[in-house]
Structure 1
Amino acid sequence: MTHTIEERGPAASVPAEGKRPGGGLLVLYLALGGLAFAVLQSLVSPALATIGRDLQVSTADVSWIVTAYLLSASVLTPILGRLGDMAGKRKVLIVVLAILAAGTVVAALAPNLAVLIVGRVLQGAAGAILPLSIGIVRDELPRERVATTVGLISAIFGIGAGIGIVAAGPIVEHLSWHWLFWLPLALVVIALMGAIFGMKESPVRTPGKLDVVGATILSVSLVGLLLAISKGQAWGWGDAKTVGLLALGVVGLIVFVLVELKVREPLIDMRLMKVRGVWATDLVALILGFAMFGTFLLVPTLIQLPAATGYGFGKSVSQAGLFLLPTVVMMVLFGPLAGILNRKFGPKLPMFLGAVFVVAAFTLPAVAHGEIWQVLLSGILTGAGIGFAFAAMSNAIIEAVPATQTGEATSVNTIARTIGSSIGTAVVAAVITSKTTAQGLPTDDAFTTGFWVCAGVAVLAIGAALALPSAHRRHEEAVAQGVDDLPPEPAELHLPNSHSRG
């Protein structure tokens, strides 16, 4: 694979190391695009019942609004991330934001479920915003600013998901479900205008052609897995459709790996998956994606249960969303903080701390959740942990792969997070519906079990975070991979850097 850096005009306009100074507006536009995508990912879920009643469709049918979005994002993210590496990240980002804007308008105007699902499929293309944004930041900003900026942008994806859960109730109660799309559209349009008029094309490219065969196989396997996970509870986990789709997904992934190892220009370079900094980070993404959406399902459900149950708090949808505000605030604070720790100690420490916080966040309510402060403290710990870990994940990927493969590597990490979120939603939903009262409400034991399940899964993230290479080992692996734009190492770890990219 040949890597090139395109000429960008007079050398005098480009600072030493090829990075442009400033970049505040660039970061703002990228952050707004990421925020819009993340908000749209979660904003619809609390309003599904309202949308279903308005469109006169069943609960099973209206759930396709979420399923279609997840399927589209998982399929298009690696393809668009790879195209960004090949054709230019800004060009592809503009296309992605334009598709997102079009899909949001279609969804906002949708007169029926079919049109709304089409809009959601178009919106799923925005799953590529994160890998494209991280690649642009890595290419364009001075390297001393990369870790903190990537931490902020990565945290925004968790923040946006939290904002979506919080804002859904008030929007539906005071406006209508159509405004779930009109309001985020403003963010999308600003980000799109910023990409068109306020960004220059990133210089780092990986010339080649798209691996259509690999893209097709990966798409089929991801659709099979996510469709089975999303619909398994409704269809039945032992149903032929569920089992068949799971088998299709697993076999498809195996075939995909075998194909990618043989083609000259793979969609995803499987050699990257053997790098410890990559596979360990992807495992953390999978696990904490599970945990984050476990929180978004368990906490609002518990808060909204009638106080007469003895364990619910009897709050409205809007009030329940407000209880997630501390989670969102902690994500805002701890995302950039993870970037600062990354510059001093590397991504291993903030990722480890994030996983520890998430384990504590679920252990507390698993032991006791009868008081509101226990639920709030759990949310605070969750926000701190997710903010730390999500920011560290993107920086770990950056420090493990060459700049020319940032898009494909971060795309895989994004997919892992999406799959984890889908599994977490399905498993936690199955847990809290497995034990119900005579009135059909989840029992107190169901919530206790749900919290313990999430805590147990999050413990695995601690192990995965500990598997990340140390700072010294990380530098040696980076040299071997051809990564020459890492943040400076501590003085005692400075090594000769005479390798070339590629």
Structure 2
Amino acid sequence: MQTVVVPLLPDLPALTGSSASTVSWTLTATLLSGAVCTPLLGRAGDMFGKKRMLVVAMSVLSVGSVMCALTSDIGVLIVGRTLQGMATAVVPLGISILRDELPPAKVGGGVAMMSSTLGIGAAVGLPLAGLVVDHADWHAMFWGATVLALVVLTLIVLVVRESPVRNPGRFDVIGSLGLAAFLVCLLLAVSKGTAWGWTGTRTLGLLGAAALILLGWGAHQWRASTPLVDLRVTARPAVLLPNIAALFIGFSFYANSLSTAQLVQTPTESGYGLGVSVAVGGLCLLPGGVMMVVLSPVSSRLTASRGPRFCLGVGAVLLGLGYLVRIFTSHHLWTIILGATVVASGTAICYSALPMLVIRAVPAAQTAAANGINALMRTIGQAVCSAVVAAVLTSYTMSAGGHELPTLHAYMVVFVIAGAVAGCALLACLCIPEPPGPTAVPIPAQAGESRIASASRDPSGRT
């Protein structure tokens, strides 16, 4: 859902009778709603039931997909895309259910695959959407999304068990509104800063408002008896540093998705572009999606044998190497695909390790909320990346074939920045403290011990 409209963006202004700046909201709205709803539904899942929140998220996704499939009006399309973005919360909710329900030997593999779906979906969504754009009416893309959403919703209702683990208390309405306001101000300024101007009144006003709201929200969370985000837990180095790493990983991975298809689709008149179709441009990311599927169980075994911190470090190194390959080999289709696949491979390993780092550092009753914050940090990283890539590609341009195009140097700058950010993720990883004893991955009920009691232990082993 995050990338499915990317191949449509050049054509949507004509298809909907709107401007390019208005059409860009089909991406921005999904990003904003996903960022806002992921921590909120994660906390609600810990309180009221994770399966229940999964059903809510998938139901809203189904409604949003139907709205998009039935309309060519840009306003309705943006509302539908906003509803689709809420489904981002299924990943932290799913991770929490896996932690509560699976036996110890299965937790790592299940969490690795669940977390990697963030990257797999992005890599698969682009080529599928490209094929639809080239060969069918663009509404077919959203009808397909509707069918898939309804199938998944039916399977959740019939197959998934509701976890008995709860973190009861009053839902923090003020904290929820404060977090939503902060994220809207921050992500709106970041995602639209290039179009509005980084020194423009709207951009600076939103950034200033975000800073003030964050200060007030933090003070409220620290005093609240049942906060939306437990800052005392989140501020621990064992939780804070994986969240910082998630921010960097989200940035570094998204640069790969944003640049690859655009690079190979650049007209040959530019001197470096390959002039391929939208469908072929999307297919360049498909091998990376396949590698993410293949590497999920591998990274799970690596996490089990060497620990999630080691696994995250390996992934960050691979990410950096992938961009190093891209800097020197972006002239031929197969080498571009190779570099993009190496980046995707590093992302798969990182995405598998990040939730395990969070799981071992928080009590079981806070798993969904904590992983929601980790997923939120990835989303913020992607938003910042989108703004940075747009700024770079519009700063270094050339005229070719009657069009204003980014230069090859612009792409090289993007790859250098993304590789450096992957290095920052590695530094954050190296600073993550190793646990003094056994990890906090929950142990299912044994003889004489209930599942709920087992899952309620905090990381120190106390009940």
SS at 2:92's partner residue? helix
Report whether the alignment pairs 1:93 with 2:54: yes
**1:176-226 superposed Cα distances (whole Å, 9 cap, x missing partner):** 221221112222112111121222211100111110111111110100000
Identity %, equivalent residues: 39
User: What is the aligned partner in structure 1 of residue 325 from structure 2?
Assistant: 364
After TM superposition, the structure 1 stretch with the greater mean CA deviation from structure 2, 104-113 or 367-376, is: 367-376
Matches within 5 A, 1:395-414: 395-414=356-375
**Residues 465 and 484 (structure 1), Cα distance of their counterparts in 2 relative to 1, 3 Å cut:** closer
Q: For the Cα contact (< 8 Å) 2:7–2:133, is it kept in 1?
A: no
Residue 498 of structure 1, CA deviation: 8.9
For 1:298-327, what per-residue CA distance to the aligned partner results, in whole angstroms no more than 9, with x for missing partners?
A: 111110112232211111111111111121
Return the alpha-carbon distance in structure 1 between the equivalents of residues 302 and 441 of structure 2.
20
Kindly indicate whether the alpha-carbon contact (under 8 Å) linking 1:50 and 1:177 is maintained by their aligned counterparts in 2: no
Q: Choose which of 427, 431, 450 in structure 2 pairs with 1:463.
A: 427
1:368 CA displacement = 3.9
Aligned to 1:48: 9
Q: Which residue of 1 aligns with 2:462?
A: 500
Deviations 1:413-442 (A, max 9, x none): 111011111111110111011111124111
Any idea what SS the aligned residue of 2:2 has? helix
Give the secondary-structure state (helix, strand or coil) at the position aligned to 1:205.
coil
Please state if 1:252 is matched with 2:213.
Answer: yes
Within 2, Cα distance between the matches of 1:277 and 1:43?
35
Which amino acid is the alignment partner of residue 165 of structure 1? Answer: L
Q: Contact 2:309 / 2:429 at 8 angstroms: preserved in 1?
A: yes
Q: Distance in 2 between matches of 1:44 and 1:212?
A: 33
- So what's the TM-score if we normalise by structure 2? 0.93
The change in CA–CA distance for 1:498 and 1:460 in structure 2 (over 3 A counts) is closer
CA distances 1:20-45 after superposition (whole Å, capped 9, x unpaired): xxxxxxxxxxxxxxxxxxxx111112
Q: What is the distance in 2 between the residues matched to 1:418 and 1:302?
A: 23
Q: Which residue of 2 aligns with 1:299?
A: 260
The reply to whether residue 160 of structure 1 matches residue 121 of structure 2 is yes
The equivalent of 1:418 in structure 2 is 379
Aligned ranges 1:163-312 → 2 under 5 Å = 163-312=124-273
Aligned to 1:25: none
Which SS does the other structure have where 1:445 is aligned? Answer: helix
1:317 equivalent to 2:281? Answer no
Amino acid at match of 2:174: V
Task: Work out the CA distance in 2 between the residues paired with 1:169 and 1:198.
Answer: 33
Structure 1 residue corresponding to 2:442, chosen from 471, 480, 485: 485
Contact 1:311 1:444 in 2 (8 A): yes
Structure 2 stretches lacking a partner, 5+ long: 445-458
User: Is this contact kept in 2: 1:297–1:429, CA < 8 A?
Assistant: no
Asked if the contact 2:37–2:89 (Cα under 8 Å) also holds between the matched residues in 1, the reply is yes
Question: What residue number does 2:393 align with?
Answer: 432
2:170 alignment partner, SS class:
coil
The root-mean-square deviation of aligned C-alpha atoms, in Å, is 1.6
* Cα gap change, 1:484 to 1:354, in 2 (>3 Å): closer
Unpaired stretches in structure 1, ≥5 consecutive residues: 1-39, 488-496
Q: Deviations over 1:85-118 (max 9, x none)?
A: 0011111111111111111111111230111111
SS of 1:466's equivalent?
Answer: helix
Distance 2:152 2:431 in 1: 37
* Alpha-carbon separation, structure 2, partners of 1:382 and 1:486: 34
Give the C-alpha shift of residue 147 in structure 1: 0.6
- Deviates most, 150-159 or 182-191: 182-191
Q: 1:486 offset after TM fit, Å?
A: 6.2
Alpha-carbon distance in 2 for matches of 1:307, 1:194: 47
Whichever residue aligns with residue 226 of structure 1, its letter is L
1:114 aligns with 2:75: yes
Instruction: For residue 231 of structure 2, give the secondary structure of its aligned residue in structure 1.
Output: coil
What count of residue pairs does the alignment treat as equivalent? Answer: 446
Residue of 30, 35, 41 corresponding to 1:80: 41
Distance (Å, rounded) in 1 between the aligned partners of 2:59 and 2:441:
33
Q: Which amino acid aligns with 1:333?
A: V
Match of 2:292 in 1: 331
Kindly provide the CA deviation profile for residues 277-310 of structure 1, in whole angstroms up to 9, marking residues without a partner as x: 2111111111111111111111111101122322
